[in-house]
């Protein structure tokens, strides 16, 4: 089953629902202080504009990848930089709409802040359920964003610059500080001690000990996961005929180039049982000009051990052998880099 398009649609749905949560906050606020209902309508339009700019911004921030693989337009976005650009554009749009309605800059700022923090809180509350990347830092940041959104919505008085700016500034500084803190690794400390003693359960889920499966490299030499004990290992399961896998290749190359000389190993695991044969795999790799390590799962043992049902699937394994995260569908460089940074 190909999951790239499914994962993308799910990501867009999560962003859209998060934005709608922010719009709901604006509507509630409008009723509390008798604001024009057009503010909620403007907020909804700003959310859709944000999604469009965020999705298309990959052309601006990563044109090389788009030129190398046009499918990137289907499966990826502009990432965190694209989110910033989309936020600036949507803020400008709200300012323009409020100016035309003679609502003033203050009304636009209040509307934007409610949507921004409401959407951020909703997104941060939902996102870990899909990526399984739980952390204390993420939980605290989620609570801060939601509390700030509730404060903006629940205030009895109309907005004034002093209270709005001071509250948003303090909340933003606290949120930024929490996101910069490095807490201990997200997986259970008990699981770490169990892994060291060999008593932890072996499996394909987060928190379990990664199965030590063998592969074959291009020269036919055996490669085992245990060869990289003590290092962060990224296992990417893919097939040459899979469109989202093809779109993902430039991002894998970028990740490999970034961490080639560090304690991070990328193993690109080809699901050879789904191919016409090893020759087709190497022909594809040569055509793409990849330099990262590609290994073959010729008998399907790795697919079975890691319960691979969707293509591509990427598994992040901590130095102690514990599975830290498991992502379905095409993954971009920013997403992988963020997970590796949290594991370091």
| The pLDDT of residue 190 | 45
Q: Which residues of 63-99 are buried (b: 16+ CB within 10 A; e: fewer)?
A: eebbeebebbeebbbbbebbbebbbebbbebbbebbe
| The pLDDT of residue 45 | 95
| The pLDDT of residue 224 | 92
User: What CA–CA distance (Å, rounded) separates 281 from 285?
Assistant: 6
Please report the domains of the chain, with CATH numbers, ordered by start residue.
Answer: 4-180 (no CATH), 190-343 (3.40.30.10)
| The pLDDT of residue 186 | 45
| The pLDDT of residue 33 | 79
CA angle 275, 292, 225 (to 5 degrees): 80
| The pLDDT of residue 39 | 85
Per-residue pLDDT of 218-246, as tens digits, reads 999 999 999 999 999 999 999 999 999 99
| The pLDDT of residue 337 | 92
| The pLDDT of residue 181 | 67
Per-residue pLDDT of 19-59, as tens digits, reads 999 999 999 998 887 777 788 899 999 999 999 999 999 99
Which residues 6+ apart lie within 8 Å of 228 measured at CB? 265, 267
| The pLDDT of residue 184 | 53
What residue ranges of the chain have pLDDT lower than 70? 1-9, 103, 130-135, 159, 181-199
């Amino acid at each position: 089953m190909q999951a790239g398009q499914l994962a993308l649609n799910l990501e867009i749905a999560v962003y859209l629902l998060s934005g709608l949560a922010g719009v709901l906050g604006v509507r509630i606020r409008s009723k509390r202080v008798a604001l024009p209902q057009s503010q909620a309508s403007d907020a909804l339009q700003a959310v859709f504009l944000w999604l469009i700019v965020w999705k298309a911004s990959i052309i601006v921030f990563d044109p090389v990848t788009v030129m190398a693989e046009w499918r990137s337009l289907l499966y990826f976005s502009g990432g965190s930089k694209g989110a910033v650009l989309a936020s600036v554009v949507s803020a400008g749009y709200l300012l323009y709409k409020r100016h035309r309605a003679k609502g003033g800059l203050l009304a636009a700022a209040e509307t934007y802040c409610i949507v921004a923090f409401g959407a951020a809180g909703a997104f941060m509350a939902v996102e870990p359920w899909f990526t399984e990347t739980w952390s204390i830092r993420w939980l605290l940041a989620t609570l801060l964003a939601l509390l700030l959104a509730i404060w903006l919505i629940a205030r009895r008085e109309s907005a004034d610059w002093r209270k709005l700016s001071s509250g948003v500034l303090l909340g933003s500084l606290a949120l930024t500080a929490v996101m910069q803190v490095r807490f201990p690794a997200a997986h259970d400390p008990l699981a770490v001690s169990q892994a060291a003693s060999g008593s932890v359960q072996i499996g394909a889920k987060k928190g379990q000990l990664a199965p030590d499966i063998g592969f074959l490299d291009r020269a036919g030499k055996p490669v085992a996961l245990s060869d990289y004990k003590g290092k962060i290992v990224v296992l990417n399961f893919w097939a040459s005929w899979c469109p989202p896998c093809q779109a993902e290749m430039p991002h894998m190359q970028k990740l490999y180039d970034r961490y080639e000389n560090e304690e991070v190993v990328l193993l690109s695991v080809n699901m050879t049982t789904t191919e016409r044969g090893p020759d087709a795999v190497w022909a594809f790799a040569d055509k793409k000009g990849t330099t990262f390590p590609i290994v073959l799962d010729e008998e399907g043992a790795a697919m079975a051990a890691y319960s691979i049902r969707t293509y591509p699937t990427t598994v992040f394994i901590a130095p102690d052998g514990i599975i830290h995260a498991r992502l379905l569908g095409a993954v971009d460089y920013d997403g992988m880099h963020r997970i590796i940074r949290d594991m370091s």
